[in-house]
Structures are given as structure tokens and as C-alpha cells.
Structure 1
Amino acid sequence: MTVPPQKPDLPTRFTCAQARERARQVVVGYNLPAVLVDDVLVVVSELVSNAERHAEGLTGFDITVRAGQIVVEVSDRSPRPPRHQPASPDTPGGFGWRVVTTLAPATHLRLHPGGKTITALFPLPASSPPAAS
């Protein structure tokens, strides 16, 4: 059985700003293009805010760098998958999932007891070794 990613230190109320800061802390040691860092932070914001807004609350958040990629995992309580909203100039919002899948095309959904986990993968450029300490 797959268990959603959870951190013992995840606060009860974990905000988008906290998630972005944690993401920044993880990627800071890599020589990454600014546009990639920005893309990761936008996806983190979208996934965390959507978990709170549309999916009964955030239950897990993790970001790691492994196997040549940045891996963002966000879990929530809802088994409903995100969906693309039709573009409508008269209706605000509804573009979050489209933004996520555009910036991180290797995005996967995993259902599990108690909800779902969305994993967004960002390949690292070949010239992005960890920064020397």
C-alpha cells in the first residue's frame, strides 16, 4: 500500500508561503536556472492552494531532488482528480491544473485511502550539480 508523503513537522495549517519557502530551501543548493525555480514555486503554490481550496485540505507535502529531477508531492483528502476547466473570459480562476501540467508535464496522480497524491516532476538541467559548501 502506498502512503501519502507526510512530514512529522508539517504544521496543522501549512500555507502556500510555507510550502514555497520549504521548496526554496531544498533547491537553493543547486545551480538552477531562475526560470526553473520560478516554475517549481508556481506549481507548489497551485498544488497546495488547490488542496486547501478544492480537496478538503492538505495532508502531505514533500519536495526532494533525486535521480536528476525535482520531485514535488502534495497529498490531500479528496479522491477526486483535478480537471482542466474550459477557458472562459467571464469566469475567474479555473486555470490552476492547466498551469501545473504545462509547467510540469510529467505530473502523476495516485489515489490512496484517504485521498490522493499529485507528483510533479521537473528534470534538472545537466549542468545543475549541487553547489559546493
Structure 2
Amino acid sequence: MNGTTATTAAPTSLVIADDSPAGISRARDAARAFANSLRPAPDTTSADTLALVVSELATNALRHGGGRYTLELSADPRAVRVSVSDPNPAHPRERTPDLNGDTGGFGWHMIRRLVGKVTITPGPGRGKTIHAVLPC
């Protein structure tokens, strides 16, 4: 993530399942703690980017993906990976952001702009998993 090379991650993987808006804050905090556990730890901007990506993916899963999600964070020397699964098989869709602040529309644009690679795979079950890779 932004010029640092992760040599180890402690923990090597973190999984969180949640179904409440309050969980978004916990997911962000967990993402920052995960980033800080990496050696070497990423700079503040990279850790904040990870937290923002986690926040946006979890929020989208709650709003549009069926009201619950599972977040998994992992890292290796090349990248930090964020995977968010939800029960809705429908892929995210781009829409024109609402500049009046009423209905959003910024999240998917931000996610795609901030990560090195984003893919969507089927499952678990009938749902989908969005995988975002933030290069080290």
C-alpha cells in the first residue's frame, strides 16, 4: 500500500460478520488495526484508504446487498486484500452521484478509483463477493 512492502501480517486474516449500521464503524476500526499490524505498517494515508474502502464496501452491502455482510482482510508482501460478501447476487452499478447529498452514489466510484483491482465473484450461496486489492 503506497510504497510499503508488507512482510508479515498479524493476524494474517481477519473476518467480521455484521448486519447493523453500527458495524461499519467497527469494520473501519478493524481495518485500521489490521493495517497497523502489518510489518512494516503502511503510512497513515494508506491505512485511511483501506479503512475508507472497507467502509464503502460494507455500507454498500448493508444498503444494497441484503442487509448483512462478511468482511475478510488479508495481506501478503504484494497487497492487502479486502473481500466483502453479501446475500444479493446483483452486481454494484454505477449511478450518477447525488450532489445534493440525498441519495449518495459516490461509493462504487470511490472504491474503483482507490483500489488497484476489483473483481466480483458469485457466492457464498446465491450472493456475491467483492474483492478489492490495494497494492503494497
Q: Where on the TM-score scale, by shorter chain, does this alignment land: which range? A: 0.7 to 0.9
Counterpart for residue 135 of structure 2: 123
Aligned length: 119
Q: Percent identical across equivalent pairs?
A: 29
1:99 aligns with 2:110: yes
Counterpart for residue 110 of structure 1: 121
| SS of corresponding position for 1:10 | strand
Q: TM-score, normalising length from structure 2? A: 0.76
Unaligned stretches of 5+ in structure 2?
Answer: 1-13
CA distance in 2: counterparts of 1:89 and 1:17, whole angstroms: 24
Report if the CA contact (8 A) 2:28-2:55 is conserved: yes
Per the TM alignment, residue 31 of structure 1 is displaced from its structure 2 partner at its CA by 2.5
Q: TM-score, normalising length from structure 1? A: 0.78
1:21 aligns with 2:21: no
| SS of corresponding position for 1:51 | helix
Query: Which of 84, 87, 91 is the equivalent residue of 1:81?
Result: 91
Report if the CA contact (8 A) 2:94-2:108 is conserved: yes
> What root-mean-square deviation, in Å, do the aligned CA atoms of Structure 1 and Structure 2 show?
2.3
Report if the CA contact (8 A) 1:26-1:65 is conserved: no
